């Protein structure tokens, strides 16, 4: 029972942050979706330690574990829009392909930079131990 109450409280906290993102998007007339602003807000709160990971760990872990279920409604909706793919399929495929390549490049570059950074720290600490 205690775990269920903790889960419910954490889920409510995540929903409040999400709704706050929607509110800010409307209030500031931003061209960014409210859920994206909510995620940015969540990231900022976690990075500044205003919000601790432990406070949302149970609910966020559950949501990530069942993430695939959230794609079922959009997949079914896409199945009813075959005409859209016939009319704009080539453009969609091109946009997806280019964004995928850019995503791979940015991810690889980031991993390379972060791994190099970790090697430098390990290398420096190895000299201090001598």
Kindly report, residue by residue over 9-42, the tens digit of the pLDDT. Answer: 999 999 999 999 999 999 999 888 998 999 999 9
Q: Over the chain, what is the mean pLDDT?
A: 86
Residue 36 C-beta-side C-alpha neighbours within 13 Å? 6
State the pLDDT at residue 96.
Answer: 92
Percent of the chain's residues with pLDDT above 70: 90
Question: Considering the entire predicted model, what is its pTM?
Answer: 0.58
Structure confidence at residue 45 (pLDDT): 94
What percent of the chain is modeled with pLDDT above 90?
50
pLDDT tens figures, 53-75:
999 999 999 998 988 888 888 88
Q: What is the pLDDT of residue 92?
A: 87
Q: Where are the alpha helices (DSSP H) in the chain?
A: 2-28, 34-47, 57-65, 72-79, 82-128
Angle at 47 between CA 40 and CA 37, to 5 degrees: 10
Question: How many Å from the N-terminal Cα to the C-terminal Cα in the chain?
Answer: 53
pLDDT computed for residue 28 by the predictor: 92
Q: Indicate if the pLDDT at residue 130 is higher than 70.
A: no
């Amino acid at each position: 029972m205690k775990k269920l109450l903790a889960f419910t409280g954490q889920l409510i906290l995540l929903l409040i942050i999400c709704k706050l993102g929607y509110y800010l998007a409307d209030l500031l007339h931003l061209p960014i979706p409210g859920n994206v602003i909510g995620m940015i807000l969540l990231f900022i709160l976690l990075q500044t330690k205003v919000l601790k990971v432990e406070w949302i760990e149970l609910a966020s872990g559950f949501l990530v574990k069942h993430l695939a279920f959230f794609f079922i409604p959009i997949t079914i909706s896409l199945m009813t829009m075959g005409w859209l793919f016939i009319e704009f399929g080539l453009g969609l495929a091109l946009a997806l392909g280019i964004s995928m390549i850019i995503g791979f490049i940015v991810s690889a570059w980031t991993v390379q930079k972060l791994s190099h950074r970790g090697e430098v720290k390990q290398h420096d600490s190895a000299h201090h131990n001598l």
